[in-house]
């Protein structure tokens, strides 16, 4: 009988402990996980063309606040372009990187400034030859706010360009973005760079 009472006593103590721990856990506020994983409803997009998309994608992938990048083609006149067609210059597309970002962590202006710090944006080449090149520098904007930001930064840069050179970066409206072939995605990371 004594042994039975000891077992019941231990059982009661364990049940009480479990209930007490559950109650304490219930009183604790939930952990804030919003910083660990960006809220997808707040994400925004930016599209940048600045030469070969491999290096530009790798640069943006390292930036805090960037949720996702995709290498692809945009700004052209044909549907479903592929690399072989785009590099001929006949489709009008630019190699570009679509950047999905959390504006709570990084602003569009910061992205544009980062873009200019990571590619060659000035030239002495006439604009008419440059506009259709697949490796041109261009910002594809989604709205008036993005356009105003891009125009402001280009004006700042233009004030400091010398030696007969000028900022060749174009600003175009964002249209359909065609994702590039799988082997182009995160290419430099695949090569260990």
What are the Cα distances from residue 92, in Å, to 70, 122, 172? 19, 20, 12
**85 shares a domain with 53:** yes
**49 shares a domain with 24:** no
A 10 A CB-CB count for 78 gives 14
pLDDT score of 5: 57
The domain of 5 spans 1-28
Indicate whether 37 pLDDT > 50: no
Is 137 contained in some domain? yes
Nearest to 145 by CA among 43, 57, 71, 46: 46
- The span from the CA of 186 to the CA of 103, in Å, is 23
pLDDT score of 41: 64
- The span from the CA of 88 to the CA of 84, in Å, is 7
**186 shares a domain with 148:** yes
> What is the tens place of the pLDDT at every residue in 95-115?
999 999 999 999 999 999 999
> What is the tens place of the pLDDT at every residue in 53-76?
888 999 999 999 999 999 999 999
pTM of the complete model beyond 0.75: no
**151 shares a domain with 63:** yes
Is 119 contained in some domain? yes
Is 38 contained in some domain? no
- The span from the CA of 121 to the CA of 166, in Å, is 8
Terminal Cα distance for the chain, rounded? 73
**60 shares a domain with 19:** no
Burial class (CB in 10 A: 0-12, 13-18, 19+), 168: buried
Residue with the larger pLDDT of the pair 31 and 107: 107
Residues 6+ apart with CB under 8 A from 26: none
**117 shares a domain with 182:** yes
Is 36 contained in some domain? no
User: Which residues are marked as active site?
Assistant: 52
Is 131 contained in some domain? yes
- Of all residues in the chain, the percent with pLDDT exceeding 70 is 72
Is 39 contained in some domain? no
**53 shares a domain with 21:** no
Work out how many domains the chain is built from and give that number. 2
Mean pLDDT of 5-14: 50
**159 shares a domain with 68:** yes
Is 125 contained in some domain? yes
**24 shares a domain with 71:** no
> What is the tens place of the pLDDT at every residue in 123-163?
645 454 545 588 889 999 999 999 999 999 999 998 887 67
Instruction: Please report, for the domain that includes residue 138, its CATH number.
Output: 3.30.1060.10
Indicate whether 23 pLDDT > 70: no
């Amino acid at each position: 009988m004594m042994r039975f009472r000891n077992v019941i006593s231990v059982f009661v103590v364990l049940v009480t402990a479990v209930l007490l721990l559950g109650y304490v856990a219930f009183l604790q506020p939930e952990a804030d996980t919003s910083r660990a994983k960006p809220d997808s409803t707040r994400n925004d997009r930016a599209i940048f063309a600045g030469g070969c998309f491999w290096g530009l994608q790798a640069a943006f992938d390292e930036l805090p606040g960037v949720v996702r990048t995709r290498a692809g083609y945009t700004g052209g006149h044909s549907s479903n372009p592929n690399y072989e067609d785009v590099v001929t210059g006949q489709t009008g597309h630019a190699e570009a990187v679509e950047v999905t970002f959390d504006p709570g962590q990084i602003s569009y202006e910061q992205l544009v400034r980062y873009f200019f710090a990571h590619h060659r944006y000035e030239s002495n080449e006439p604009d008419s030859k440059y506009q259709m090149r697949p490796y041109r520098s261009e910002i594809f904007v989604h709205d008036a706010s993005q356009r105003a930001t891009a125009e402001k930064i280009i004006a700042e840069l233009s004030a400091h360009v010398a030696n007969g050179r000028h900022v060749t970066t174009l600003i175009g409206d964002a249209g359909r973005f065609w994702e590039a072939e799988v082997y182009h995605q995160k290419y430099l990371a695949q090569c260990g760079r």
